[in-house]
Amino acid sequence: MAYSRSETGSRSTVIAAGALDAVLVLVFATIGRLSHGETLAGLGITYWPFLGGLLLGWLLVRAWRSPRGVIPTGLGLWIATVAGGLLLRVVSGQGVQLSFAIVTTVVLGVFLMGWRAIAALLSRLRSGKTAPIR
């Protein structure tokens, strides 16, 4: 099915949203390593499972259709990144503790949905609309 330009994010919006998502997941991995006194030398080991989950999420929710959307795009990406990242950690032998899963869920939710909610709010404020954020 083809989507009109109004339904699909522009190429630059899609690229910017994807890059911002990837950077925020990298920030998450960096904060995690540093908070546990680990060096950044092994950052890729921490990063790749969540980047894989994020990429899977982009495909599953077809995020390019509405890359700045909070729901369903941001919500779907959050779920896929957390679930995919934790699953990839388990199958690669990195392990997952409950406390890690909880922190991962909260932080990635704030990161992946947060910037979209802020962008939606700013867009509505600029346009003078008061409709719910979607």
Are 46 and 55 in contact, with CB atoms under 8 Å apart?
Answer: no
88 inside domain: yes
53 inside domain: yes
Q: How many structural domains is the chain composed of?
A: 1
133 inside domain: no
pTM of the predicted structure, to 2 decimals = 0.88
- Give me the pLDDT at residue 128, please: 80
Question: How far from 41 is each of 10, 33, 44, CA to CA, in Å?
Answer: 36, 10, 8
18 inside domain: yes
134 inside domain: no
4 inside domain: no
Q: How far apart are CA 90 and CA 94, in angstroms?
A: 6
Structure-derived torsion over alpha carbons of residues 7, 13, 17, 19, reported in degrees to the nearest 10? 140
Q: Which domain holds residue 52?
A: 11-127
pLDDT tens digit sequence for 46-101 = 999 999 999 999 999 999 999 999 999 999 999 999 999 999 999 999 989 999 99
2 inside domain: no
72 inside domain: yes
